A = this chain, B = another copy of it.
């Protein structure tokens, strides 16, 4: 139809180089009034158009010139720089900027390079989206292992919280999502909060985010709690996980690997649900992100999955 353009959306492509599987993410818009939290004002749409039309082609060329960025290595370094990789990606985003900036300067005009470098640098979440996709590529490689009780995905849609389990095929186990407990941006309160939403919990599934809180004591100013709570959060997650991560380590815990691989048997046996760092969306469409905090999945999803596991494997 004349005058109607077909909008496109560029994505990052992440590849698990060991297992060959791929994953994808869009580009991060920043905090506050952003489409991914439900805002869609002219300002939001204008930013998205600039990201697509101006920034994305530059990033594509810069990433190609860079030969690709090792997000696992970047995350490992960021965890030594006070990030937990989900709600705090200050260091990771700067490491991302550092790797991209020489190429951006090379492939873009001075005006555009200036704009892109400012946008990437000022957005402390710039690397969050490729990080989430990298976690997805890691977690997907663990899916489909016969007899495995390890969780390979957790996600919420604002209504339900769902998990997938490695040894249980394509089924999702769901229950109503809860409202996060956290800190609100100025002018907002818990009364504004929607139930938990988004697929960013792939970070905790992969052993970072809430599971790596001990690496990020400064994050408590954003998600609530004390630095001691941050240590406790990670220690608690060792109780319900299969292993310590080989690559993601926590200096404050003598470089112990982050707790990785949620085991539904341990969750149900101990009554400890995963600890998730999350953003909080306004309950009304159009407003956007209004805070950040903590949430835990409903225990039901683990119980239901464990019963399904027992049924399937005849235990």
Contact = CB atoms under 8 A, between A and B. Distances in A.
Interface stretch (A95-103, A141-149, A180-188): A95-103
A106 B102 contact: no
Contacts of A228: 254
Contacts of A83: 81
Interface in A204-261: 217-218, 220-221, 226-228, 251-255
Nearest to A124: B98
A114 interface: yes
Counted per complex, copies of this chain come to 2
Given A91-B94, A97-B94, A102 B80 contact: no
Contact of A81 (B90, B102, B227): B90
Nearest to A115: B102
Interface size class of A (residues with CB under 8 A): 35 or more
Contacts of A220: 251
Interface of A: 80-83, 90-91, 94-95, 97-99, 101-106, 108, 110-111, 113-115, 117-118, 121-122, 217-218, 220-221, 226-228, 251-255
22 contacts: A80-B82, A80-B218, A81-B81, A81-B83, A82-B82, A97-B121, A98-B121, A101-B105, A101-B118, A102-B114, A102-B117, A102-B118, A104-B105, A105-B114, A106-B110, A106-B113, A106-B114, A110-B113, A217-B251, A221-B255, A227-B251, A227-B252
Given A101-B105, A104-B105, 10 more contacts: A81-B218, A97-B98, A101-B121, A102-B121, A103-B114, A106-B110, A106-B111, A218-B251, A226-B254, A227-B253
